[in-house]
Structure formats: C-alpha cells, structure tokens
Amino acid sequence: MGATALAPRATHGTFASGVGSRRVGTRLSKCVDINTAVSVKTVTLAKDAYDALASLKGENESFSEVVRRLTGSRVLLSAFAGAWKGAPPSEIEEVRKFLQDSDRLSREKVRRLVRAGGRHG
C-alpha cells in the first residue's frame, strides 16, 4: 500500500481541512491540516527572545495569546488628565497608597523571579 502525498492546500496562510499521509524519506508521516480560518505567519526568534516569551506564557496559553496580551491596545496617559479633579483628598491618598503597595509587591515578585532564574509559577 503506497503513501498518498498531500498537496499543500493552504493559500495565503490559511489551512484547508484534510488528513492523509506523506512519505518523508523512508518513513511515513501522518498529516493533519486543521481549518482554522485564521491566517498564520512563522516568526523566527533568537533563543533568548524565545525563552523570554516562553517565560511569560501561561500553562494553557498559546504564544499567539501571549503576544496579543502583551501588545494589546494601550491608552495614552493623557486620556486620564483631569480624572481626579475634585476628588476628595482621602480618596486620592487611598489610591496613592494602593499604588505604592502594588509597586512594592511587583518589585518583590521580580526579585523572586530573578533568584529563581526567570521561572514563575
């Protein structure tokens, strides 16, 4: 029984659905194409860049999701200008203290990660 070669059916980065076999050298490899209806691109990263990205990846998170999370839309700081105008001083002090505590906790987490060699969990 011979192997059936699958002709590439992807166009412009999209995949067609299909299952088949492809002869690779002397071995037979199963091929499964999944219709994602999403264009894909291959990106080459240096090992250190890959390691840095992988360290930010959650257990059930794809690399695409990590990139989307890290590059999500950003709001200019100027969009918040005047937002606290007229706020009571006690409320401003409460927010300031919260931000200082959060900053301290973030610095402590960074120190722990550096000591652990960049691993998190």
In the 3-class helix/strand/coil scheme, how is the chain assigned residue by residue? CCCCCCCCCCECCECCCEEEEEEECCEEEEEEECCCCCCCCCCCCCHHHHHHHHHCCCCCCCHHHHHHHHHCCCCCHHHHCCCCCCCCHHHHHHHHHHHHHHHHHHHHHHHHHHHCCCCCC
Ramachandran sector of residue 81 (left: φ over 0; alpha: ψ -120 to 50; beta: rest):
beta
Task: In whole angstroms, give the CA distance from residue 19 to residue 9.
Answer: 12
Predicted local confidence at residue 7, as pLDDT: 44
Per-residue pLDDT, averaged over 37-59, amounts to: 88
Give per-residue pLDDT as tens, 68-82.
888 887 788 888 888
Q: How far apart are CA 101 and CA 107, in angstroms?
A: 10
Q: Is the pLDDT of residue 26 over 90?
A: no
In this prediction, residue 9 carries a pLDDT of: 44
Q: What percent of the chain has pLDDT over 90?
A: 25
Q: What is the pTM of this model?
A: 0.35
User: For residue 32, which of 15, 44, 52, 48 has the smallest C-alpha distance?
Assistant: 15
- What percent of the chain is modeled with pLDDT above 70? 66
pLDDT band, very low/low/confident/very high, at 114 (cuts 50, 70, 90): confident
